[in-house]
């Protein structure tokens, strides 16, 4: 088994996994995460644990961060913050309709690079902006447009559920989401009510969909007559997260019943018929 730990580059940022080897890392330790541009400082948020499953292509931790690594990381954070302010100011001066989302600094090598990530409703003409940015930042500048979903994962935030955004924590791959998934989950078709911080339909509709499909294959449909432990009732709703159904009894009482305790009427008839047949065969 392999010891695996989780680290982040930003507070409450997306989780990245590392092989811990035999070193005893603890939550809060600063370690080096290997990247294509060299090792970068990250913080442990999940202490190493043995993984019983195959971990796949997870990089090996490059060791603990040294004081020099921490100084470089702090310096780069300060430079990125200044570059972001400069980019916003110059974009406003040039009258460009873009939103600066994040700034990345590549300081290794003879030719430093500042990558500016932005969102925009349409194509932006940078012919006048980029030279001014390069002079102000004293570096090469690369403007990179990203989609609204990617911007939400970079910025982070709190979703309507009250937790950190899935895309900024654990969700690695963002897939297209359609209104059909909302209908399957009995959610309103109003996009304003089922949209995330990015303005698109919430990603959780996609990766929770198989749970709703599985529940629908096992549960009686809404409006179907069932037999419960207190008698006959009619299904008036589904509660997928709790694996239960909401029923209304003949006397009008409404309650929630675990799915395993509810039996559709036609199934109950088949079971009763089969039981009577067995009893008849066993008679002398």
So what's the architecture of 220-271 in CATH?
A: Roll (2.30)
Q: How confident is the model at residue 248 (pLDDT cuts 50, 70, 90)?
A: very high
CATH 2.30.30.140 spans which residues of the chain? 220-271
Residue 118 in contact with residue 90, Cβ under 8 Å?
no
Q: Which residue has the tokens 């430093």?
A: 112
31 in Cβ contact with 69 (< 8 Å): no
Percent of the chain predicted with pLDDT > 90: 36
Give the model's pLDDT for residue 265.
61
d(CA 18, CA 20): 6
Long-range contacts of 122-129, Cβ-Cβ distance < 8 Å, separation of 24 or more: 122/97, 124/96, 124/97, 124/98, 125/96, 126/96, 128/94, 129/90, 129/91, 129/94, 129/96
Per DSSP, the three-state class of 24 is: coil
Could you give the residue range(s) of every CATH 3.30.300 domain in the chain? 70-146
pLDDT digits (tens, 9 = 90+) for 155-180: 778 888 888 888 887 777 777 788 88
* Residue 273, burial from CB neighbour count under 10 angstroms (0-12, 13-18, 19+): exposed
In words, the CATH class of domain 70-146 is alpha beta
pLDDT of 7 over the 90 cut: yes
| Strongest mean pLDDT among 88-92, 144-148, 197-201, 240-244 | 88-92
Q: Which of 151, 162, 160 is nearest to 196 (CA)?
A: 160
Question: End-to-end alpha-carbon separation of the chain, Å?
Answer: 60
Q: Indicate whether this model's pTM tops 0.75.
A: no
Q: What is the mean pLDDT of the chain?
A: 84
């Amino acid at each position: 088994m392999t010891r695996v730990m989780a680290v982040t580059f930003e507070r409450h940022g997306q989780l990245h996994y590392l092989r811990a080897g035999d070193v005893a890392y603890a939550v809060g330790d600063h370690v080096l995460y290997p990247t294509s541009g060299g090792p970068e400082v990250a913080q442990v948020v999940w202490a190493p644990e043995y993984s019983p499953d195959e971990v796949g292509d997870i990089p090996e931790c490059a060791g603990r961060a040294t004081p020099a690594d921490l100084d470089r990381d702090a310096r780069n954070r300060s430079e990125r913050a200044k570059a972001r302010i400069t980019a916003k100011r110059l974009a406003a001066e040039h009258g460009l309709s873009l939103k600066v989302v994040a700034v990345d600094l590549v300081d290794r090598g003879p030719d430093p690079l500042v990558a500016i990530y932005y969102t925009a409703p349409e194509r932006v003409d940078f012919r006048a902006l980029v030279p001014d940015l390069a002079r102000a930042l004293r570096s090469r500048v690369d403007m990179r447009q990203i989609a609204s979903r990617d911007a939400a994962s970079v910025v982070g935030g709190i979703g309507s559920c009250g937790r950190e955004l899935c895309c900024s924590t654990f969700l690695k791959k963002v897939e297209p989401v359609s209104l059909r998934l909302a209908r399957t989950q009995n959610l309103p078709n109003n996009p304003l009510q089922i949209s995330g911080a990015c303005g698109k339909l919430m990603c959780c509709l996609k990766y929770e969909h198989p749970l709703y499909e599985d529940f629908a294959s096992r549960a009686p449909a809404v409006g179907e007559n069932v037999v419960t432990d207190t008698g006959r009732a009619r299904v008036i709703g589904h509660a997928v997260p709790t694996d239960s159904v909401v029923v209304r009894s003949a006397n009008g009482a409404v309650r929630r019943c675990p799915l395993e305790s509810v039996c559709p009427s036609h199934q109950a008839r088949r079971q009763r018929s089969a039981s009577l047949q067995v009893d008849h065969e066993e008679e002398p």
